[in-house]
Amino acid sequence: MSILVDADSRVVVQGITGGEGKFHTRQMTEYGTNVVAGAVPGRGGQEVDGTPVYDTVAGAARAEDADTSVVFVPPAFAADALLEALDAPLDLVVAITEGIPQQDMATVYRKASETDTHLVGPNCPGVITPDEAKLGILPGDIFADGDVGLVSRSGTLTYQVVDSLTSRGLGQTTAVGIGGDPIIGTDFVDALELFEADPDTRAVVMCGEIGGEDEEEAARYIGERMDTPVAGFIAGRTAPPGKRMGHAGAIVSGSGTGTAESKIAALEEASAPVGDTPEEVVDRVEDFL
């Protein structure tokens, strides 16, 4: 099985006529993703590589029976695109866009919390179920079908860990890049809950980083609610307190929480071993299986 996306997902690409949207739509389609429509205001009636474009997400969803969208809309307009997708409504919305103003995302988050739609992102690489469908900018060639789930705040870490998993013959059920912004839709606990409910996911890798308390909250969930084993990796161990490192959410307050040490300690207390390198994380997964 999988979580969030599979071969039956019917996908609308918001921003399909832009450069990024057009390029990655081709990549997703070549991978096998069932892209059924694009949605761009004022571009209804056009086609992009044979994919029909509609003025609205709701129109695309009605006409093409779509249930999923992936958003490649510039930051200034992305919040409106996300609100439109949430209104459609769809089962899953994946926001790839980086740089959405946080006040805009606060509005989107409130709206998302009132719906049953899974919102992933923003500022994320996307979601992939190997050999079935990918949404976003993930390099499909490094993934393989298998029984390890992965959830990560970092796109680069996702690629490193997945490449190591695949090279050792450990395929994946689904990989979810949740994004590193302070305000996101799906968080670690949301993804872990979905993996725990998936009978085909036999182990999970969770890649976190310094900043915030999401990893500590995930550790509590792992310790209290999960039977599926989890291995972790925390990036940013050498970052000084108060220094922003890459992602907008990767900043340590200096209060003793949000540090690499606090996150590692919380995970290990929950019996989720943490590797010092991506290769060591894969070692832990091999131990589980």
The predicted-structure confidence for 187-209, as pLDDT tens digits, reads as follows 999 999 999 999 999 999 999 99
- Say if residue 153's pLDDT is above 80: yes
Q: What band does 256 get if pLDDT is binned at 50, 70 and 90?
A: low
Q: Say whether pLDDT at 110 is over 90.
A: yes
pTM (2 decimals)? 0.94
Average pLDDT taken over every residue of the chain: 94
Beta-carbon contacts of 72 under 8 Å, excluding residues fewer than 6 positions away, are: 13, 14, 15, 16, 18, 20, 21, 24, 96, 97
User: Six-digit token pair at 29?
Assistant: 């389609």
pLDDT confidence of 185, banded at 50, 70, 90?
very high
Query: How far apart, in whole angstroms, are the C-alpha atoms of residue 162 and residue 143?
Result: 6
Domains for the chain: give ranges and CATH numbers. Answer: 1-123 (3.40.50.720), 139-289 (3.40.50.261)
Q: Check if 247 is active-site.
A: yes
- The answer to whether residues 5 and 128 touch, using CB atoms and an 8 Å cutoff, is yes
* Residue 85 banded pLDDT, cuts 50, 70, 90: very high
Distances (CA, A) of 231 to 69, 154, 210, 279: 30, 16, 17, 12
Q: Please, which pLDDT band fits residue 239 given cuts at 50, 70 and 90?
A: low
Quote the distance between the C-alpha of residue 227 and its chain's center: 22
Using the predicted structure, report yes or no on whether residue 255 has a pLDDT greater than 60: no
* Separation CA 286–CA 231 (nearest Å): 10
CA 44, 48, 50, 56 dihedral sign is negative
Measuring CA to CA, how many Å separate 183 from each of 101, 136, 154, 169?
Answer: 10, 19, 15, 35
User: What is the separation of C-alpha 245 from the centre of its chain, rounded to a whole number of angstroms?
Assistant: 20
Q: Among residues of the chain, what percentage have pLDDT more than 90?
A: 89
Catalytic residue among 10, 134, 202, 247: 247
